[in-house]
Amino acid sequence: MGILVARTRQELRAMIGSLKSTLEDAGLRSSVGFVPTMGALHEGHATLIKKSSKENSITVVSVFVNPKQFAAHEDLDKYPRTFEADCELCLKAGAQIVFAPTPEAMYPDDFKTKISVDEMSQVMCGAHRPDHFTGVCTVVLLLLNFVAADRAYFGLKDYQQFAIISRMTQDIVHPTRIIGVTTVREEDGLALSSRNRYMDATARAAAACIPKSLRAAAEVFLSGETNAPAVLLAAREVLNSVSEFELQYCELRNAKNLTEVEARITHESVLAVAGFVQNADGVKTRLIDNVILTHDPDRLESLLDFVRLGTAVK
């Protein structure tokens, strides 16, 4: 059986209902997992889909390049669109349904609503992309309502997005459980991203400073350092040593509410980096990444694995 493709909310609900009925007729309980994406899928997305497929009997993947989260000067038209390959990846990873609506299906002409999370959306990436997270929250809430999933899966590479969506669903008491999944990385530690395909060898070499900077900070933290400026300095020294990398921000934030950590690291925190690399022809690519600094046993192993990866590629 191939992947099912829904283009409208009505088609989506009918497909989910049919799959649920089939399971229930066989005496099986059904649960729905959801992976929202903008397409151009890669192994990082496949990891989310596989986790959903393991934990749910039905997995839905949305493929929708959301115009509301792009500013006028950003790369909406250039964003890669690889729908056939995306569907193949979804099928191989265990999904049953791809939801691929048009912008008109998501946002009718009389659509007037915006969803936002105050304060958390105004820092980090939000300080440089003012309307971005309003667009993200609006589309994600619509999608969560359309799919009515038990669980939704988000990669932790965009930690700010995960934190904001978690807070949004908490505040409005949305029934879908939001689950964060550890970032999938290339052999040298660079986080997988749809935008990596924009980079030539020159930009790719410069981008390697991002995971190196995060590992440097993680090593300082794991050595027992809790002074926030010292941890930040370890990361910034690496970033500043690469002239081809244009730093946008390098910040240490509380992992739960994204408030700035200025003195001591007393709670689980996220060290986040954003910046630009440039191809030989002058085309720039914006990249983001982060590392979660924690002693929580549930996340500590991921942190240690990240540091070990750096040792392996030195």
**Catalytic (active-site) positions:** 45
Q: Report the C-alpha gap between 75 and 284 in whole angstroms.
A: 11
Total count of residues recorded for the chain: 314
Q: Report the C-alpha gap between 273 and 213 in whole angstroms.
A: 9
- Number of neighbouring beta carbons within 10 Å of residue 128: 13
| Structure-token match 């929202």, residue found | 36
Q: Report the C-alpha gap between 265 and 117 in whole angstroms.
A: 25
Q: Report the C-alpha gap between 238 and 191 in whole angstroms.
A: 17
Contact status, residue 81 vs residue 65, Cβ threshold 8 Å: yes
Indicate the pairing of strand 97-99 with strand 4-6: parallel
